[in-house]
């Protein structure tokens, strides 16, 4: 349990945080508490034209800033986002939703609660990142399988091979060239499409 807590605190201390909030009492409470935790903290107000390099977590006052402007700022970046709100108004709720905020903090800010939201936001962001990576990998795997199936079907239809022989050809060529079967399948499909463009698409076994 202690080791797990230590890992959580180590992760927070490694965080590179940007606080986008007025330098008022709430902003001061937030900034000073984050610095006491030991993480790298940068501050800016109003909304900057671009994000500083290396930022992985953002605390942002959403009521003082246009959601469209924030979305534009975040283009090409994927930080954990903690929204700071004053009232649970429809405008605030829409901003939280539009930003897909990983955490929410209500004013007036107090040291108690900052650590919890900071931890949960980074955990949720990390979970979403891992999940997105798994989905992307699965999509690439399915795309590769469809491409291999198409290449095998071309070898059957155009070259007159049976399915087992066509599969072995793709597999063995991939082994020989030390590449994936998907890569060999891409070559086969590309070659077939080139033959079609040149008008040389007659079955070779007819």
Alpha helices in 24-162 (DSSP H): 25-37, 67-74, 90-99, 111-159
Range of the domain at 189: 137-197
Last residue of a domain, one of 69, 98, 127: 127
pLDDT in tens, 131-156: 999 999 999 999 999 999 999 999 99
Residues 68 and 109 in one domain: yes
Q: Is residue 65 part of a domain?
A: yes
Map tokens 């072995």 to a residue.
168
Structure pTM?
A: 0.73
Two structure tokens written together for 45: 């107000």
Residues 141 and 122 in one domain: no
Q: What is the CATH number of the domain that holds 114?
A: 3.40.50.2300
pLDDT in tens, 61-109: 988 777 788 888 888 899 999 999 987 777 788 888 888 899 999 999 9
Burial of 25 (C-beta count, 10 Å sphere; 0-12/13-18/19+): exposed
Residues 159 and 66 in one domain: no
Q: How many domains does the chain have?
A: 2
Last residue of a domain, one of 68, 92, 127: 127
* Angle between helical axes of 67-74 and 90-99 (0-180°, round to 10): 10
Two structure tokens written together for 180: 């994936």
- How many helices (H) and strands (E) the chain has is answered by 7, 5
CB 80 within 8 A of CB 102: yes
Q: Is residue 204 part of a domain?
A: no
Residues 42 and 101 in one domain: yes
Last residue of a domain, one of 103, 127, 151: 127
Q: Is residue 202 part of a domain?
A: no
Q: Looking at per-residue confidence, does 58 or 66 come out higher?
A: 58
Residues 119 and 19 in one domain: yes
CB atoms within 10 A of CB 99: 18
């Amino acid at each position: 349990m202690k080791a797990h807590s230590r890992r959580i605190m180590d992760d927070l201390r490694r965080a590179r945080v940007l606080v986008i909030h007025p330098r008022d009492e709430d902003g001061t409470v937030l900034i000073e508490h984050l610095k006491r935790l030991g993480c790298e903290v940068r501050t800016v107000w109003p909304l900057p034209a671009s994000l500083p390099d290396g930022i992985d977590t953002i605390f942002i006052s959403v009521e003082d800033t246009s959601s469209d402007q924030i979305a534009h700022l975040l283009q090409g970046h994927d930080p954990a986002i903690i929204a700071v709100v004053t009232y649970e108004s429809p405008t605030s709720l829409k901003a939280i939703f539009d930003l897909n905020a990983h955490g929410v903090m209500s004013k007036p800010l107090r040291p108690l609660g900052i650590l919890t939201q900071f931890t949960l936001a980074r955990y949720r962001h990390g979970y979403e990142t891992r999940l997105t990576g798994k989905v992307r990998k699965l999509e690439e795997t399915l795309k590769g399988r469809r491409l291999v199936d198409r290449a095998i079907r071309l070898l059957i239809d155009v070259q007159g091979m049976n399915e087992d022989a066509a599969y072995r050809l793709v597999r063995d060529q991939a082994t020989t060239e030390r590449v994936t079967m998907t890569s060999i399948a891409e070559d086969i499909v590309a070659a077939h499409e080139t033959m079609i463009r040149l008008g040389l698409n007659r079955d070779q076994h007819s």
